[in-house]
């Protein structure tokens, strides 16, 4: 079997059995990047030599090359946020999550492409050109963690760090047939992640399997003294029987029929599992207001966070911002300005409470909600670039989770007739990641979507 199609668990086992060496693993991935990166535009920076710790404190990820979304700062390794503003920015320190994978023996193989500043759902807002979907290069890989998901799908690394503010881990994972965890807000440190919307930004990881995702998650999660919003968490106890609920608003008429069919099929498979109980429909009545709420709160926080890029402390001046960054900065500036603050920002913060309460009520009855990640399968490059609102609607099923700060695990759920991936998400209560991984692993024991690879 090809090294580049193996999971982390398989790679680690292979090293132990001396089937291949750590150097051979790195070389295999590097060769694949060299071969396909030009066409797919997945990596912005490639590390010809492994970027790793001199003396890692554990060997949990020894020999594992990891892709890192280029929004995590990496000491001495160019970090751009895929924006021209930072095209030459060289960080003086590394993000906590980068340090955590390095301390566990992993190496960084390169920095992955994204929508500039993580603003986008398709990867097309990158100032360094869009990433192509490895399953069909005429299609988007999803965003904003476009490169991280495409890298895993294309066999350029077995795992990649990513961030999710409104769907940016789950959308590309679902468009590329990968697994991605959007953790509970505060469970993974934001220290060293170039800030987008600070009250929603959730760093996490994209992998090939739920098992790998769980392994990586437990190595990167946990309180960080450098991030005051990281939480000294207590993981939720696993229920004896996992009650699965179906949020009816997530299966409305706006959902593509093929997506709906595949996710409904996945729910039937889940219901057949031992220790899983189908608890029926639940309602999240404020779902239809989530995108509007999200696109007030997020630009508001963006306008504040991106104010620091003035060409004095970091990189180039503000003329180098791309269109989407300009739009979001202006939307936020408007929503926060005198006379409009109450009607927009304050109103959105109140509706955010209602969205959060919808989930709290649902989780009194069920342990996990199952839904599609995206209302549509991957779409064509260029299809939505001139219609920002249409692009924003891609977040309709993912954004509510971020507003509520709860975790969600994206898993492959099948393919369209034309061979494009479809993803589902398992949504859990705050600090309920363990329940999601348990259910995700059980699902992947009885399905094989996760071992399918694109023909490059």
Partner 1 sequence: MTQQPLTPKDTKKIAKLANLQLSPEELEKFSAQLSAILEYVEKLKNIDTSNVPETSQVTGLVNVTRNDEVKSVRYIKKGTYYTADAVFE
Interface residue with partner 1, options 116, 193, 231, 370 (CB under 8 A)? 231
Q: How far is the CB of 329 from partner 1 (least distance, A)?
A: 5
CB of 287 to partner 1, least distance (A): 12
Which of 68, 258, 96, 187 lies closest to 428 in space, CA to CA? Answer: 187
* Stretch of 8-16, 46-54, 111-119, 317-325 contacting partner 1, by CB under 8 A: 317-325
User: Active site includes 144?
Assistant: yes
5 interacts with partner 1 by CB under 8 A: no
User: Of residues 7, 28, 69, 126, which has the active-site annotation?
Assistant: 69
Q: Does 360 bind partner 1 (CB under 8 A)?
A: no
* CA-to-CA separations, 236 to 201, 231, 287, in angstroms, rounded: 22, 14, 25
- Size of site (CB under 8 A) for partner 1: 50
User: Which of 23, 288 has the CB closer to partner 1?
Assistant: 288
Choose which of 141, 186, 245, 247 interacts with partner 1 (CB under 8 A). Answer: 186
Q: Closest separation between CB of residue 407 and partner 1, Å?
A: 12
Choose the stretch contacting partner 1; rule: CB under 8 A; options: 5-13, 145-153, 171-179, 221-229: 221-229
Cβ 155 to partner 1 shortest distance, Å = 36
Interface segment toward partner 1; rule CB under 8 A; list 53-61, 146-154, 342-350, 365-373: 342-350
Q: Indicate whether 437 belongs to the interface with partner 1 (CB under 8 A).
A: no
* Residues in contact with partner 1, shown as a per-residue x/- string from 75 to 94 under the rule CB under 8 A: -----------------xx-
Paired strand residues for 370: 426
Mask for 234-273, x = binds partner 1 (CB under 8 A):
----------------------------------------
Give the binding range for partner 1 (CB under 8 A) out of 11-19, 139-147, 318-326, 416-424: 318-326
Considering the rule CB under 8 A, would residue 331 count as an interface residue with partner 1? yes
Residue with tokens 């900065």: 329
Catalytic annotation on 69?
yes
Encode the chain in three state secondary structure. Answer: CCHHHCCHHHHHHHHHCCCCCHHHHHHHHHHHHHHHHHHHCCEEEEEEEEEECCCCCCCCCCCCEEEEECCECECCECCCCCCHHHCCCCCCCCCHHHHHHHHCCCEEEEEECCCHHHCCCCCCCCCCCCCCECCECCECCCCCCHHHHHHHHCCCCCEEEEEECCCCCHHHHHHCCCEEEECCCCCCCCCCECCCCCCCCEEEEEECCHHHHHHHHHHHCCCCCCCCCCCCCCCCCCCCCEEEEEEHHHHCCCCCHHHHHHHHHHHHHHHHCCCEEEEEEECCCCHHHHHHHHHHHHHHHHHHHHHHCCCCCCCCCHHHCCHHHHHHHHHHHHHHCCCCCHHHHHHHHHHHHHHHHHHHHHHHHCCEEEEECCCCCCCECCCCCCCHHHHHHHHCCCHHHHHHCCCEEEEEEEECCCCCEEEEEEECCCCCHHHHHHHHHHHHHHCCHHHCCCCC
Instruction: Specify the residue, 316 or 318, whose C-beta has the smaller distance to partner 1.
Output: 318
Q: Residue 249's beta-bridge partner residues?
A: none
Confirm or reject binding of residue 412 to partner 1 (CB under 8 A).
Answer: no
Can 234 be counted among the known catalytic residues? no
- Binding segment for partner 1 (CB under 8 A), chosen from 21-29, 118-126, 212-220, 222-230, is 222-230
Q: Report the residue number, 280 or 311, with the smaller CB distance to partner 1.
A: 311
Q: Which of 83, 144, 146, 300 is catalytic?
A: 144
Looking at the Cβ atoms of 218 and 327, the one nearer to partner 1 is 327
Which residues are part of the catalytic machinery?
69, 144, 168
Instruction: Provide the binding-site residues for partner 1, judged by CB under 8 A.
Output: 92-93, 185-186, 199, 225, 228-229, 231, 286, 288-289, 291-293, 295-296, 303, 307, 310, 318-319, 321, 326-327, 329-331, 333-334, 337, 343-344, 346-354, 356, 388-389, 392, 403-405, 430
């Amino acid at each position: 079997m090809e090294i580049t199609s193996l999971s982390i668990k398989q790679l680690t086992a292979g090293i132990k059995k001396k089937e291949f060496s750590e150097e051979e693993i790195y070389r295999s991935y590097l060769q694949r990047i060299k071969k396909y990166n030009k066409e797919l535009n997945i990596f912005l920076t490639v590390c010809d030599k492994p970027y790793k710790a001199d003396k890692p404190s554990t060997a949990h990820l020894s020999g594992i090359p990891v892709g890192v979304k280029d929004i995590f700062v990496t000491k001495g390794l160019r970090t751009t946020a895929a924006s021209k503003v930072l095209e030459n920015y060289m960080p003086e320190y590394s993000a906590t999550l980068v340090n955590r994978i390095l301390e566990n023996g992993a190496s960084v193989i390169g920095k992955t492409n994204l929508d500039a500043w993580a603003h986008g759902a398709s990867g097309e807002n990158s100032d360094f050109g869009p990433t192509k979907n490895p399953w069909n290069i005429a299609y988007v890989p999803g965003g904003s963690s476009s490169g991280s998901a495409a890298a895993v799908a294309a066999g350029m690394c077995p795992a990649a760090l990513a961030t999710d503010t409104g769907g940016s881990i789950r959308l590309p994972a679902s468009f590329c047939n990968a697994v991605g965890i959007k953790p509970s807000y505060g469970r993974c440190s934001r220290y060293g992640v170039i800030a987008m919307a600070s009250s929603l930004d959730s760093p996490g990881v994209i992998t090939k399997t739920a098992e790998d995702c769980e392994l990586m998650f437990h190595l990167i999660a946990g309180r960080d003294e450098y991030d005051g919003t990281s939480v000294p968490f207590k993981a939720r106890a696993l229920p004896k029987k996992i009650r699965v609920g179906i949020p009816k608003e997530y299966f409305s008429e706006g959902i593509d029929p093929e997506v709906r069919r595949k996710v409904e099929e996945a729910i039937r498979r889940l219901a057949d599992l031992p220790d899983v109980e189908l608890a029926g429909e639940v309602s999240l009545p404020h779902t239809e207001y989530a995108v509007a709420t999200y696109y007030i709160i997020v630009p508001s926080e963006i306008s504040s966070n991106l104010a620091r890029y003035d060409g004095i402390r970091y990189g180039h001046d503000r003329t180098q911002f791309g269109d989407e960054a300009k739009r979001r900065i202006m939307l936020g500036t408007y929503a926060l300005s005198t006379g409009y603050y109450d009607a927009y920002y304050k109103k959105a913060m109140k509706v955010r409470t209602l969205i959060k309460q919808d989930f709290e009520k649902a989780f009194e009855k069920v342990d996990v909600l199952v839904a599609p990640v995206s209302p549509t399968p991957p779409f064509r490059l260029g299809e939505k670039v001139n219609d920002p609102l249409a692009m924003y609607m891609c977040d309709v099923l993912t954004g509510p989770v971020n507003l509520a700060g709860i975790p969600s695990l994206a898993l492959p759920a099948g393919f369209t007739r034309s061979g494009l991936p479809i993803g589902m998400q398992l949504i859990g209560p705050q600090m309920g990641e363990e329940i999601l991984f348990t259910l995700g692993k059980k699902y992947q024991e009885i399905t094989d979507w996760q071992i399918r690879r694109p023909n490059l």
